[in-house]
């Protein structure tokens, strides 16, 4: 069995700076790392599925690398639409997968952990001012994925943009542009047990090319759940969360854990027996 913790959408700013002028993302990231380390000492690796920083500053990446080094297991990092891949690469040289590019210009990499092949895909699109928030895998990365899947056992795919329309209008406008081509590649293989992603800052479950897909909440702020086009785009401070994915026997089971503590756990033995 292999167990993977997943953090997504850290949106860190340089130390001492609040994200969007109001969110102490640094505090939430510290809390999340402490929570995972204390509650789930059995994890085999951590996946960080993009938007490591909010605005791509070097100081924010250095802080992220320092905080994520608190994990004693491999930390698999991929960029999101808020990231600057060159700056991310510089700060994360010591993290697995950043030594080379799977295809030119993309920070994708593959890892074998506990009998599971983790394929980390790069959906970010570079632009001079980081104004490009749609995602794209690109033909070269899709060909690399197709070849990688053909020679792998059970596969867990990690990516930032969900490869499906989530129904939240403003998020779908910055979705994955080549999701159909991605689904065609998936449909040619039967060894993908789960796709995990971020970007949408919510728990959302769907299926693409016959593969179950799960997006998890952000580690700090969330996106308002509104499935109409009238509600303006907005964030909301719903509970910050992380994912825990268990993979055994070619099957994945995914859980959501909460970053904050909601009272101390009370064992069932502490209660008087309940009688009818
Ligand atoms: Fe995000």
Across the chain, which has 276 residues, the per-10-residue mean pLDDT values are: 98 97 97 98 98 97 98 97 94 89 91 96 85 94 97 96 97 97 97 98 96 98 95 96 96 97 88 62
User: 3-state secondary structure string, 237-259?
Assistant: CCCCEEEEEEEECCEEEEEEEEC
4 close to 45: Cβ distance less than 8 angstroms: yes
pLDDT, position 274 = 58
The torsion of the CA quartet 30, 32, 34, 37, rounded to 10 degrees, works out to -140
pLDDT, position 100 = 77
Ligand 1 centroid to residue 84 C-alpha, Å: 13
pLDDT, position 192 = 97
116 close to 247: Cβ distance less than 8 angstroms: yes
The whole-angstrom separation of Cα 107 and Cα 98 is 7
Ligand 1 centroid to residue 212 C-alpha, Å: 21
Nearest CA to 23 out of 34, 11, 6, 31 is that of 11
Nearest CA to 240 out of 254, 258, 261, 225 is that of 258
Ligand 1 centroid to residue 77 C-alpha, Å: 14
For 2-270, CATH number?
Answer: 3.60.21.10
Ligand 1 centroid to residue 60 C-alpha, Å: 15
pLDDT, position 137 = 98
Ligand 1 centroid to residue 191 C-alpha, Å: 29
Ligand 1 centroid to residue 228 C-alpha, Å: 20
pLDDT, position 152 = 87
Domain boundaries, the chain: 2-270
pLDDT, position 270 = 73
């Amino acid at each position: 069995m292999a167990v993977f913790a997943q953090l997504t959408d850290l949106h860190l700013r340089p130390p001492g700076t609040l994200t969007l002028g109001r969110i102490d993302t640094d505090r939430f990231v510290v809390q999340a790392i402490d929570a995972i380390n204390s509650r789930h000492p059995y994890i085999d690796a951590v996946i960080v599925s993009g938007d490591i920083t909010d605005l791509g500053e070097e100081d924010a990446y250095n802080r992220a690398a320092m905080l994520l080094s608190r994990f004693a297991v491999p930390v698999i990092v991929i960029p999101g639409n808020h990231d600057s891949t060159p700056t991310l690469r510089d700060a994360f040289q010591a993290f697995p997968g950043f030594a080379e590019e799977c295809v030119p210009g993309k920070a994708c990499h593959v890892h074998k952990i506990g009998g599971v092949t983790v394929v980390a895909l790069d959906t970010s699109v570079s632009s001079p001012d980081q104004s490009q928030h749609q995602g794209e895998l690109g033909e070269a990365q899709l060909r690399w994925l197709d070849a990688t899947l053909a020679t792998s056992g059970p596969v867990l795919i990690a990516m930032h943009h969900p490869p499906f329309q989530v129904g939240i209008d403003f998020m779908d406008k910055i979705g994955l542009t080549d999701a159909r081509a991605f689904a065609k590649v998936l449909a040619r293989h039967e060894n993908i047990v789960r796709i995990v992603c971020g970007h949408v800052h919510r728990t959302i479950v769907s299926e693409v090319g016959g593969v179950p897909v799960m997006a998890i909440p952000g580690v700090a702020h969330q996106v308002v759940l509104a499935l109409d086009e009238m509600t303006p785009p907005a964030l909301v401070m719903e509970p910050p969360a992380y994912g825990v994915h268990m993979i055994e026997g070619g099957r994945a089971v995914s859980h959501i854990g909460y970053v904050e503590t909601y009272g101390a756990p009370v064992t069932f033995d502490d209660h008087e027996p309940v009688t009818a």
